[in-house]
Amino acid sequence: MNKDGTVLGITALTTVIAALVSILMPKAYKAEAMVEVQIIQGSKVIDISEIQESIKAYKKAYKDGTLKDILKKVKISPIRNSPNMAKIEVEGTSPIAKENLEKAVEIINKKLFPQKIEELKEKYAIRPNCINQIISDVNSKNNMIYDPSKMVDLLTEKEQIQKWLHDPKFVILSTDIQASSEPVRPKPLLYTLIGFIMGIFLGIFVALVRETIKSRKISVDYPKS
């Protein structure tokens, strides 16, 4: 096989292999949604960066398991100029991608931060009683001047804390989950193009190696006098 034939042959082979791989690979779809970090007493219960770091740490610490299988497909990104909002993306086969996103949110809320949940429960548990005492003091003193809007704020805060203590969550879905109708992976055209380009370079390399070996063989067979 001559040099041109080697390059063409290897290029054709790698292109066909890349095309077959892209066709046979399982199709992955993407689901995405916006999540909002819970705000209690005017502050976030957790930072997006904490969630990102915890996901990375979990993937490194555990080699297998359903939890890791889901988390390794999760990407969560903060939204610029919205410190309590983030975009969460999860991949999976159709229609599993949407289910994976729902599971990812559940994992973030229930599995990743058990110690932090206990710390926050302890922190917030006494606040409703404090609010009740304030309201009681206000009601028992009719001549006490108190801003009604502050009373509303206290009642809202109490309701918010009690709701969180009953069902602790760090993030909640703020939009519907949107799942892609077309697979995000594999990308047949891209994979085929990569196979084609790799084939050209590999073919040229193999052809040059063959030519070098052939030249050396000729030099050995016909030594200079």
The DSSP code sequence of 24-60 is: HSPPBEEEEEEEEE-EETTEESS-HHHHHHHHHHHHH
H helix count then E strand count, the chain:
8, 7
pLDDT given for residue 163 in this prediction? 92
pLDDT given for residue 145 in this prediction? 58
pLDDT given for residue 194 in this prediction? 93
pLDDT given for residue 219 in this prediction? 65
Could you give the CA distance from residue 160 to residue 163 in angstroms, rounded to a whole number? 5
pLDDT given for residue 146 in this prediction? 64
Task: List for the chain the helix, strand, coil content (%; round to 5).
Answer: 60, 15, 25
pLDDT by residue, tens only, the chain of 225 residues: 566 787 888 889 999 998 888 888 878 888 999 999 998 888 889 999 999 998 888 877 766 677 777 888 889 999 988 888 999 998 877 667 888 899 899 989 988 899 999 999 999 999 999 988 888 887 777 655 567 788 888 899 999 999 999 999 999 999 999 988 888 888 888 889 999 999 899 988 888 888 888 777 766 655 555
Query: Strand 178-179 relative to strand 29-37: parallel, antiparallel, unpaired?
Result: antiparallel
pLDDT given for residue 91 in this prediction? 84
Q: Contact, 173 vs 106, CB < 8 A?
A: no
